[in-house]
Structure 1
């Protein structure tokens, strides 16, 4: 119950500070523009709803990071953290409550954004699919939650909002933009042209929370698919990121002084 109280306060604070309005507005504007661009400016290729995923996931990753990086260190610097812990809340309650509250902001942002742009997609797509659209929304919520957890770990580990800010920026840039670029460079340097991509390379791609959903059915494998490319292993990857991030956030926060 205490966790939910912290989560409710965090979510209501996002509403009162207009953070939720700003995030929803920015994401909806991006999604509307990007949807129009993908379905009208790419006439030489067949565009499906899945083509909206990669860029949208990068934006959701950034949103999750920005929502989480000041969750604890911001209240530490303002002094409100002492007041919060003076109530019947443990530090575990604070970590988990803030995680739930910030994830709720991500959920509302993604659902509202796609609900508003839904009619836009239905008109522009050649073969619109409500099911595929709903699956896309579900996929995007997962990296959003993971990046909130990662950012909260940064927030709990630092006493300075400046340090937490730069850590969050690096985090977002690496996972949202740099990861696949580095892997593409490595692939071009290590593998001959037209050579089959090894399974371990697909695993490196999948370890990025953005690509947890990748499974053997979407890849051209020359042999039997290993277990780490099967659909269920995506859940293991996501659970690992969440448990490690939130566990680390709790341990660091539990050992730190409030002064």
Structure 2
């Protein structure tokens, strides 16, 4: 119950600071604008195609995989470090809350702050897609929104973990942005460097194996894309989007949900362990 009490207080603080209203407006503009844009550039009836809702939904994958991580980190990096900077952490821990309650409660509260904009944004986006598209698939759309929430939760967990392990919001911000840059923008050279080291300081002449392709799926953004693609019906129309199904189970699209779960659990566990051992 202490965890939920911390989460409720964190959510109410977001309401009072108007953070929730700002994030909701921002996400509504993002989803509605992207939905309308991709609907306009899709082939129209009579010109070789139809802007179906399924195609429009997955046109949002790339922009969402960039926008949502930034949103998640923005929500998470001040979670604990901000309380320590202001001195409120001692007051919070003087109440019947453990340090675990604080870490988990902050993560849950900020997840609630994320869920509201995502739900409202995707509801508005659904209206835009329904207006622009000849068909609307609500089941796939809701599942896609769920996968998007998981991506945001993964980066909230990362932000809260870094915030729990540092003593200042500036360090937490720099750490979060650095990790975001590595995972979402610089992961390809990191993979090549790993292959170079594993292969004895040389690049192999052929594909290293399934483990190399597994490395491609490890960043939260890649895991999110795979998880979202696993929600697509397997038919010739969408095969070009999803690609062939690999043999190894850990390379299949559905395994993206497992990777996202790991990104949620492991950072929080590490952040709590560091926070638990810190002298306030």
TM-score in same-fold range (> 0.5) = yes
Aligned to 2:158: 150
Aligned to 1:220: 244
TM score, norm. by length of structure 1: 0.86
CA RMSD in angstroms comes to 2.9
Contact 2:161 2:270 survives alignment (8 Å): yes
Contact 1:61 1:176 survives alignment (8 Å): no
Q: For residues 73-112 of structure 1, what are the structure 2 equivalents within 5 Å?
A: 73-112=81-120
Aligned to 1:208: 219
TM score, norm. by length of structure 2: 0.80
Question: May I ask how many residue pairs the two structures share in their alignment?
Answer: 252
Q: Distance in 1 between matches of 2:107 and 2:60?
A: 26
For residues 118-166 of structure 1, the C-alpha deviation after alignment (integer angstroms, 9 at most, x for no partner) is 2111111243221221121011011111100011111011112211111
Q: Residue 246 of structure 1: CA displacement? A: 0.7
Aligned to 2:238: none
Q: For residues 55-70 of structure 1, what are the structure 2 equivalents within 5 Å?
A: 55-70=63-78
The answer as to 2:146 corresponding to 1:138 is yes
Alpha-carbon spacing, 1:111–1:176, altered in 2? closer, same or farther (3 Å): farther
Alpha-carbon spacing, 1:171–1:5, altered in 2? closer, same or farther (3 Å): same
Q: Distance in 2 between matches of 1:162 and 1:27?
A: 25
Contact 2:7 2:109 survives alignment (8 Å): yes
Task: Return 5+ residue gaps in structure 2 as ranges.
Answer: 195-202, 235-241
Aligned to 1:34: 34
Aligned to 1:162: 170
Helix, strand or coil: the match of 1:257? coil
Aligned to 1:16: 16
Aligned to 2:80: 72
Q: Distance in 2 between matches of 1:233 and 1:38?
A: 27
Q: Distance in 1 between matches of 2:91 and 2:73?
A: 25
Q: Distance in 1 between matches of 2:159 and 2:250?
A: 26
Q: Distance in 2 between matches of 1:177 and 1:114?
A: 26
Aligned to 2:182: 174
Aligned to 1:52: 60
Q: Distance in 1 between matches of 2:278 and 2:26?
A: 35
**Bigger Cα displacement from structure 2, 41-50 vs 240-249:** 41-50
Q: Residue 180 of structure 1: CA displacement? A: 6.1
The answer as to 2:268 corresponding to 1:241 is no
Alpha-carbon spacing, 1:235–1:68, altered in 2? closer, same or farther (3 Å): same
Aligned to 2:200: none
The answer as to 2:252 corresponding to 1:230 is yes
Task: Return 5+ residue gaps in structure 1 as ranges.
Answer: none
Aligned to 1:120: 128
Q: Distance in 2 between matches of 1:48 and 1:202?
A: 27
